[in-house]
Amino acid sequence: MAFDSPEFWVALMQIIGVNIVLSGDNAVVIALAARGLPPEQQKRAVAWGSGAAVVMRIVLTIVAVELLRLPALKLVGSVLLFWIAVKLLMPEEGGEGHGSEHGSMAAAIKTILLADLVMSLDNVIAVAAAAKGSTTLLVLGLAISIPLVVFASQLLLKLMDRFPSIITIGAALLGWVAGEMAIGDPLVKAWVDAQLPWLHYGAPLAGAVGVVLSGKVLAARVLARRAPATVAVVAAAAASVGSRLRRMLVASDGSAGAGLALAHALALRDQLLEGDTVELRLVNVQRPLSGDVSSFVAGASIEAYHRERSDKAMAAARQTLAGRGLAAREHLAVGDPGRTIADVAAAEGCDLIVMGSRGLGSHTGALLGSVAAATLEHAGVPVLVVRG
- Interval 286-299: pLDDT, tens: 877 765 566 666 67
pLDDT at residue 3 is higher than 80 = no
Query: CA–CA separation, 386 vs 371, rounded Å?
Result: 13
pLDDT at residue 23 is higher than 90 = no
pLDDT in the model for residue 44: 73
* Position with higher pLDDT, 384 vs 369: 384
pLDDT in the model for residue 330: 92
Indicate the range of 87-96, 227-236, 324-333 predicted with least confidence.
Answer: 227-236
Residue type at 338? Answer: G
**Confidence class of residue 98 from pLDDT cuts 50, 70 and 90?**
very low
pLDDT in the model for residue 145: 64
pLDDT in the model for residue 239: 42
18 within 8 A of 130, measured Cβ to Cβ: yes
Express each pLDDT in 42-77 by its tens digit: 677 767 776 776 777 777 777 777 777 778 877 887
The Cα-based distances of 326 to 218, 259, 309 in angstroms read 44, 15, 23
**Confidence class of residue 9 from pLDDT cuts 50, 70 and 90?**
confident
pLDDT in the model for residue 342: 92
pLDDT in the model for residue 229: 37
Indicate the range of 265-274, 323-332, 365-374 predicted with least confidence.
Answer: 365-374
Indicate the range of 12-16, 40-44, 259-263, 325-329 predicted with least confidence.
Answer: 40-44
pLDDT in the model for residue 317: 93
Per DSSP, the three-state class of 214 is helix
pLDDT in the model for residue 238: 37
CATH 3.40.50.620, the chain: domain bounds:
233-386
**Contacts of 342 by beta carbon, 8 Å cutoff, 6+ apart:** 230, 353, 374, 375, 378, 379, 380
Question: What does pTM read for this prediction?
Answer: 0.60
Euclidean distance between the first and final Cα of the chain, in Å? 49
pLDDT at residue 103 is higher than 60 = no
Express each pLDDT in 112-145 by its tens digit: 666 666 666 666 777 777 777 777 777 777 677 6
319 within 8 A of 325, measured Cβ to Cβ: no
Express each pLDDT in 300-321 by its tens digit: 777 888 888 889 889 999 999 9
CATH class of 233-386: alpha beta
The Cα-based distances of 7 to 4, 10, 126, 172 in angstroms read 9, 5, 17, 19
Mean pLDDT, residues 76-85 taken together: 81
Express each pLDDT in 217-237 by its tens digit: 887 776 666 544 333 333 344
